[in-house]
Structure 1
C-alpha cells in the first residue's frame, strides 16, 4: 500500500493516519490522539485508557496529546477515531484518504 492510500483524521490538535486491514483498522505509529477531547460522551475511553496502560499510547511532547508508540489494530475505524478524538466518532465519515479526500464511507 502506498503512502497515498493512508487515511487521515484530525481532531483539535490530534492527527492520525490509518487504513483498513483484515480484522480491523490499523493506526500508524507516530499518530497522535487527544488526552482530553471536547465531547462529554466518551464511548471509547475505556479502550483509550487500556492503550495508555499497555504503552501503545504514550505522552507526546505536546501536553494535550498522546502519541502511538507503534502501529495498532483497532476493531473498527470508529473505535480508532473515538480513541484519537477522545469522544464518539463515525469512522466511515471521519477518515479521509490523503490523496483525494474521499472518506471510508465514499469508498466502502
Structure 2
C-alpha cells in the first residue's frame, strides 16, 4: 500500500536480533498510544494497537527501551513523545535565583521579529515560550523538523491559533523547548540563534551568560 501521507520516516533497530516479535508489538502499541495521548495527532495504523502480555521483566526492559528511544528522538529534534505544555503555577518561583549555574532561571526574556512579540522563561532547563506570545505564521524554507512538528502539534491541539494580525499566530499555552534556538526558531518560523535573539533589559542571553550578570 502506498503511504501517501508520509513525508519522513524514523527507523530504530536492535543489535543481534535482541527484540522479540512480542516485544516489538508492545513498543508499537506503546508508541501509538503515547502519540495519540500527548499530541492529539491523527495516526494511520492498520493494526489494532493492543499491548501484548509480557512478563514483568520483559515489560520493565521494554519501558527502558522506550525511554531510550524517546531520549534519542529528542536529541535529534523530535520531541513528540513528550508533553511540552507547562503550567507555571506548578513551578517554583525562581525569579531571585542567581547562582553561577542557573542565574537566568525564571527571568522573562523577550524576542521581537517582524510583527511578532514573544516571551520566554527558563524553567528546569527547558526554554518555555509563554502563553500570549505571538508567532510568525509563515515558515521559512529552512524550518527545522522539530519546530515544524511543534507548530503542527499545537495547531492540532488548539494551542496555536490565529491572531488579529493575519500574519501571526497566538500561543494559548506555555510550551517548552530543549534549547533557546528551538524556542526562537518556533517563533520566527525557521533556524534562529536564540542566544542572540532572546533579550532581557536590552542584553542578549549570550551577553548575560558571558558577564554572569543580569
What TM-score do you get using the length of structure 1 for normalisation?
Answer: 0.85
Q: Which runs of 5+ in 1 are unaligned?
A: none
| In 2, Cα distance between equivalents of 1:47 and 1:27 | 12
Structure 2 residues not aligned, in runs of 5+: 1-94, 97-106, 210-214
SS at match of 1:17: strand
Report how many aligned residue pairs link the two structures.
103
Give CA deviations for 1:32-56 in whole Å, capped at 9, x if unaligned. Answer: 001104x421112222122211222
Task: Tell me what 1:86 maps to.
Answer: 189
Answer yes or no: is 1:68 the counterpart of 2:186.
no
- 1: distance between equivalents of 2:202 and 2:108? 11
Query: What residue number does 1:102 align with?
Result: 203
Q: Which has the higher contact order (CA 8 A, sep 6+)?
A: 1
Tell me which stretches of 4 or more aligned residues in structure 1 moved more than 4 Å.
Answer: none
> Within 2, Cα distance between the matches of 1:59 and 1:9?
19
Give the strand-richer structure, 1 or 2: 1
SS in 2 for 1:46: helix
Deviation at 1:58, TM superposition (A): 1.2
Aligned counterparts of 1:53 and 1:75: Cα–Cα separation in 2: 21
1:53 matched residue in structure 2? 156
SS of 1:87's equivalent in the other structure is coil
Structural mapping, 1:4-19, within 5 Å: 5-19=107-121
Larger fraction in helix: 2
Where in structure 2 are the equivalents of 1:32-47 lying within 5 Å?
32-37=134-139, 39-43=140-144, 44-47=147-150
